[in-house]
């Protein structure tokens, strides 16, 4: 892999008409796709991000990411408060592309390390503004909501067809949350909801926050998705910081919702966002409990936090 990475770097240096790089450092190795790696490449005073995928079909997914970055960069070049990793070079032959390097933290970590509650809220407002611009780059549609798909993984775990299913979860907390989610699913079914072109892969590391604001990278397919799903993911990033939980002992603190909605600039369906947020939390908790794997100290802290949030859902017996 290292030899191939060096070959990619050499190809990009030829594009820049440079003879050598000052450093080439591994930043991230994908757990889901081991063939995918991200490097930091320094050439003189310039710094770049090189993303490589050595799988046979690696360029298929990388090209989608790169093309979407190109489209968003051209559409939002002069829009304040919105940035994506600026695309610079791509190579189908070697399965890699290069963007500008952005100095920042994942938004989840930025809120966790914030010095005060007000700083966390300002980050949330900036994320809301970024999402508003993203949704404005394409048309939106209003369609009936069918939320049952979000519960399918849980249904397989809680009610397996075979008693030998490895992911069978017997935790009372999971079963009770599942009952509450099923009740809410019935209430939400058929409700008109907004579909928009979303980020598509909004994990904790695909949205960064730094001195220049929020930056998006590693986008998914540009197709219409339920807006409330990604809103729920973003609220989770905020709740993982713990500051909000200490300030307001509720499932989704009003300060979190208000700050994000202020940045987004239009009404957000809180009920839908909470549903998808709790569905995601229950799935994460059930998976960790069923596998009974050894967790790092950070993962244990998060697991405890998720348990606390789900306990609040059960205590209120509603979302």
Cα–Cα distance between 220 and 12 in angstroms, integer?
25
- What pLDDT score was predicted for residue 101? 94
List C-alpha distances in Å: 290 to 171, 174, 176.
9, 11, 16
Cα–Cα distance between 184 and 181 in angstroms, integer?
5
Q: Do the Cβ atoms of 279 and 178 come closer than 8 Å?
A: no
- Which among 230, 225, 252 is positioned nearest to 146, based on CA atoms? 225
Q: Do the Cβ atoms of 7 and 93 come closer than 8 Å?
A: no
CATH fold for domain 105-316: Aminoglycoside 3'-phosphotransferase; Chain: A, domain 2 (3.90.1200)
The yes-or-no answer to whether 2-100 and 105-316 have a common fold is no
Helices 270-291, 297-316: axis angle to 10 degrees equals: 130
**pLDDT under 70 in the chain at which residues?**
1-3, 31-32, 158-170, 204, 242-249, 290-298
Q: Tell me the per-residue pLDDT of 141-198, one tens digit each, with 9 for 90 and over.
A: 999 999 999 998 888 776 655 454 444 445 788 888 889 999 999 999 999 998 988 8
Q: Do the Cβ atoms of 184 and 275 come closer than 8 Å?
A: yes
Domain limits, the chain: 2-100, 105-316
- What pLDDT score was predicted for residue 294? 56
- What pLDDT score was predicted for residue 140? 86
The CATH class given to the 2-100 domain equals alpha beta
What is the side-by-side strand order in the sheet with 141-144?
Answer: 141-144, 192-197, 224-226
- Which among 275, 258, 223, 241 is positioned nearest to 128, based on CA atoms? 258
- What pLDDT score was predicted for residue 168? 47
Burial of residue 57 (CB within 10 Å: 0-12, 13-18, 19+) is exposed
Q: Do the Cβ atoms of 268 and 231 come closer than 8 Å?
A: yes
- What pLDDT score was predicted for residue 317? 75
List C-alpha distances in Å: 36 to 33, 88, 92, 208.
6, 19, 15, 19
């Amino acid at each position: 892999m290292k030899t191939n990475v060096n070959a990619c770097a050499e190809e990009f240096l030829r594009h820049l008409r440079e003879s050598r790089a000052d450093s080439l450092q591994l930043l991230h190795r994908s757990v889901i796709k081991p063939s995918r790696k991200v490097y930091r490449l320094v050439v003189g005073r310039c710094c770049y991000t090189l993303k490589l995928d050595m799988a046979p079909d690696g360029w298929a997914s990388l090209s989608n990411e790169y093309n979407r970055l190109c489209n968003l960069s051209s559409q939002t070049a002069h829009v304040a408060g919105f940035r994506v990793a600026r695309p610079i070079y791509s190579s189908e032959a070697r399965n890699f592309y290069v963007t500008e390097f952005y100095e920042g933290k994942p938004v989840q970590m930025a809120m966790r390390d914030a010095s005060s509650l007000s700083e966390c809220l300002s980050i949330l407002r900036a994320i809301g503004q970024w999402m508003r611009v993203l949704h404005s780059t394409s048309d939106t549609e209003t369609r009936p909501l069918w939320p049952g798909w979000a519960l399918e993984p849980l249904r397989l775990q809680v009610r397996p067809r075979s008693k030998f299913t490895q992911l069978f979860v017997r935790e009372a907390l999971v079963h009770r949350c599942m009952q509450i989610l099923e009740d809410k699913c019935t209430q939400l079914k058929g409700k008109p909801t907004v579909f928009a072109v979303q980020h598509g892969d909004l994990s904790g590391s695909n949205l960064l926050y730094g001195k220049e604001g929020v930056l998006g990278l590693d986008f998914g397919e540009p197709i219409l998705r339920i807006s409330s799903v990604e809103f729920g993911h973003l609220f989770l990033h905020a709740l993982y910081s713990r500051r909000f939980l200490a300030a307001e002992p509720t499932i989704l603190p009003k300060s979190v919702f208000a700050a994000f909605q202020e940045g987004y600039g239009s009404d957000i369906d809180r009920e839908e966002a909470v549903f998808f947020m709790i569905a995601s939390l229950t799935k994460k908790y059930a998976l960790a409990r069923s596998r009974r794997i050894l967790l790092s100290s950070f993962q244990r802290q998060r697991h405890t936090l998720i348990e606390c949030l789900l306990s609040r859902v059960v205590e209120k017996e509603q979302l």
